[in-house]
Copies of this chain bind each other. A is one copy, B any other.
Amino acid sequence: MKLKAKYIDMDTGEITALLHVDDCMEIGVHEQDRVRVKHENDTVTAIVQTTDTFLMKGEIGLLGRAFTYIGPEPGELLDVIPTGKPDSVDYVRKKMDGQELTEDEIHTIVGDIVSRSLSSVELAAYITALHINGMNLRETADLTNAMVETGEMIKFDRSPVFDFHSVGGVPGNKVTLIVVPIVAAAGLLIPKTSSRAISSAAGTADIVETFARVDFTAKDLKQIAERTGGIMAWGGGLNLAPADDVIIRVEYPLGVDPHAQLLASVMSKKKAVNADFLLVDIPMGAGTKVPTMEMAKGYARDFIELGERLEMKVDCAITYGGQPVGRAIGPALEAREALQVLEGSKNPNSVIEKACGLAGILLEMGGVPRGEEKAMEILNSGAALAKFREIVGAQGGNPDIKSADIVPGKLTYELVAKKSGYVKGIVNKQIVKTARAAGAPKDKGAGVFLHAKEGTKVDAGQSLLTIYSENDNKLQEAIGQARKLDPIIIEGMVLERIPGFRTIHV
């Protein structure tokens, strides 16, 4: 059937063709079927949406890239032919039916995800099936390789390449800003890419962006990392394993991250930069992605075995994630806290301990004995700070940067204890909600600074945390959240009295 091209300047993430219901009847297609649309020598396969008002009979509306792929002039006649679903839909069905997928099938699915050939509905079915039926490690390794091969790869001239990844889920986890300069100062190559926050208060890329550029081409990234030994870049712009960027579109609304997909996401980004040694930080504790030690050990085993299948040497560190790391949550606040540690501050201890512990493991993977001691030495000697500044300079920031240069939001509010007692818990999720309400991660200065952490004794009226914001409306919103959510739980030391044996005086 010949239909008149109409451009619709909207991109829903799918390759969509809008057809009039009468034309759909005529050629026998339904909503969510596919048509091949041809203009001269260019063809695009699009998913059908129907309308009886937006278009006239005889017209075809092509959304966003569906139009630009084949580039007709508006009004030109296009050939429109019904066509079948891609094979990958059958393989999604296979996974829905609980079957193991072959290497070829997995490659076909990933290829179709990256080329946007699967609809949101099909993609959601895939992720749901993966969530329920899972993948074994053979499938997961194939998934990882498929994700690597459908994106860019970066090959460094130096080797070996060291890398580090945190599974995430714990707020305030700014340790990358300390780990990378320590490892690079020891002479190892660590080209670290990070993500921005999706549902957290600050991703590492958001934090680094408060004082340096994070958006580089693969070529610039390679150059900077090879020159300074380290980089702290945003991975999102590099097109490394880009299937992830498409999949997140359904994982995020469903609030799921299937185990196999999580493993493959991490490993594919690392494989794409040809990492030889990888350390995975698995924060464990209530409110993280990994609530129990047993689960954390399962993750560790899977990462290590998957590493073997991918010829990457993987170590894992299970870390305490039951409360925020350090005291600062939010881009600028976290940058300042990390920089204070690099400048020699002995606080907060949790940040120093975690950063040096992780850096130490990386050093030992690189053949340096007594890694943690060595990491501490590099930090205390000022070598880590010097390397950090060198990297910041190479990333277009101020090479003389000081923590005092980083200024959090000017509007603040102190949340005080309603009663005296001990801090029994800090609820990660509530802290994140408060920081996000205050404007993080978009407003770099927004966030939360904790004055009391688990186990601290507090008196009624004492300050528990300060909320920082750049905007009064958001500050008020955050105050409301903090008051409602009670992010810091205070109890007496006697939590509950359970009557048992009694002495009775007669």
Given the interface contacts A12-B49, A51-B10, A436-B28, does A121 sit within 8 Å of B254 by beta carbon?
A: yes
Which residues in B have their C-beta under 8 angstroms from that of A10?
A: 18, 49, 51, 53-54
A49 to chain B: closest residue by CB: B12
Interface contact A253-B119, CB-CB below 8 Å: yes
Interface contact A93-B256, CB-CB below 8 Å: yes
One digit per residue, 1 when the CB lies within 8 angstroms of any chain B CB and 0 when it does not, for chain A 435-478 equals 01001001000000000000000000000000000000000000
Interface contact B30-A198, CB-CB below 8 Å: yes
* Count, chain A residues at interface, CB 8 A: 47
Which residues in B have their C-beta under 8 angstroms from that of A28?
A: 436, 439, 442
Docked Cα-Cα span, A124 to B93, in Å, equals: 13
Which residues in B have their C-beta under 8 angstroms from that of A12?
A: 12, 49
Interface contact B18-A121, CB-CB below 8 Å: no
Interface contact B132-A124, CB-CB below 8 Å: no
Which residues in B have their C-beta under 8 angstroms from that of A494?
A: none
In the complex, whether A166 has a CB less than 8 A from a CB of chain B is no
One digit per residue, 1 when the CB lies within 8 angstroms of any chain B CB and 0 when it does not, for chain A 176-203 equals 0000000000000000000000100000
Which residues in B have their C-beta under 8 angstroms from that of A120?
A: 120-121, 124
Which residues in B have their C-beta under 8 angstroms from that of A98?
A: 132
In the complex, whether A135 has a CB less than 8 A from a CB of chain B is no
> This chain: how many copies in the complex?
2
In the complex, whether A31 has a CB less than 8 A from a CB of chain B is yes
In the complex, whether A96 has a CB less than 8 A from a CB of chain B is yes
In the complex, whether A32 has a CB less than 8 A from a CB of chain B is yes
Docked Cα-Cα span, A31 to B253, in Å, equals: 8
- Most chain-B CB neighbours within 10 Å: which of A25, A89, A254? A254
A437 to chain B: closest residue by CB: B28
In the complex, whether A361 has a CB less than 8 A from a CB of chain B is no
Docked Cα-Cα span, A28 to B28, in Å, equals: 42
Interface contact A249-B26, CB-CB below 8 Å: no
Docked Cα-Cα span, A25 to B441, in Å, equals: 9
In the complex, whether A9 has a CB less than 8 A from a CB of chain B is yes
Given the interface contacts A10-B51, A12-B49, does A96 sit within 8 Å of B256 by beta carbon?
A: yes
In the complex, whether A11 has a CB less than 8 A from a CB of chain B is yes
Which residues in B have their C-beta under 8 angstroms from that of A54?
A: 9-10
One digit per residue, 1 when the CB lies within 8 angstroms of any chain B CB and 0 when it does not, for chain A 121-163 equals 1111101110111000000000000000000000000000000
Docked Cα-Cα span, A10 to B121, in Å, equals: 19
Interface contact A96-B252, CB-CB below 8 Å: no
Which residues in B have their C-beta under 8 angstroms from that of A123?
A: 121
Interface contact A249-B32, CB-CB below 8 Å: yes
Q: Which of B30, B31, B253 contacts A121 (CB 8 A)?
A: B253
Docked Cα-Cα span, A250 to B120, in Å, equals: 10
In the complex, whether A255 has a CB less than 8 A from a CB of chain B is yes
One digit per residue, 1 when the CB lies within 8 angstroms of any chain B CB and 0 when it does not, for chain A 15-54 equals 0001000000110101111000000000000000101011
Interface contact B18-A122, CB-CB below 8 Å: no
Docked Cα-Cα span, A93 to B257, in Å, equals: 12
Docked Cα-Cα span, A256 to B96, in Å, equals: 10
Minimum C-beta distance from A86 to chain B (A): 12
Give A70-108 interface residues, CB cut-off 8 Å to B: 85, 89, 92-93, 96, 98
Interface contact A253-B122, CB-CB below 8 Å: yes
Which residues in B have their C-beta under 8 angstroms from that of A131?
A: 96
Minimum C-beta distance from A99 to chain B (A): 12
Which residues in B have their C-beta under 8 angstroms from that of A93?
A: 254-256
A24 to chain B: closest residue by CB: B442
Q: Can you name 14 A-B pairs with beta carbons within 8 Å?
A: A9-B54, A10-B18, A12-B12, A30-B198, A31-B249, A32-B249, A33-B253, A85-B253, A93-B254, A93-B255, A96-B254, A121-B123, A125-B125, A132-B133
- Since A13-B31, A120-B120, A122-B253 are in contact, a sample of 7 more A-B pairs with Cβ atoms closer than 8 Å, ordered by chain A residue number, is A9-B51, A10-B49, A10-B54, A30-B198, A119-B253, A121-B254, A125-B125
Q: Which residues does A use to contact B, with CB under 8 Å? A: 9-13, 18, 25-26, 28, 30-33, 49, 51, 53-54, 85, 89, 92-93, 96, 98, 119-125, 127-129, 131-133, 198, 249-250, 252-256, 436, 439, 442
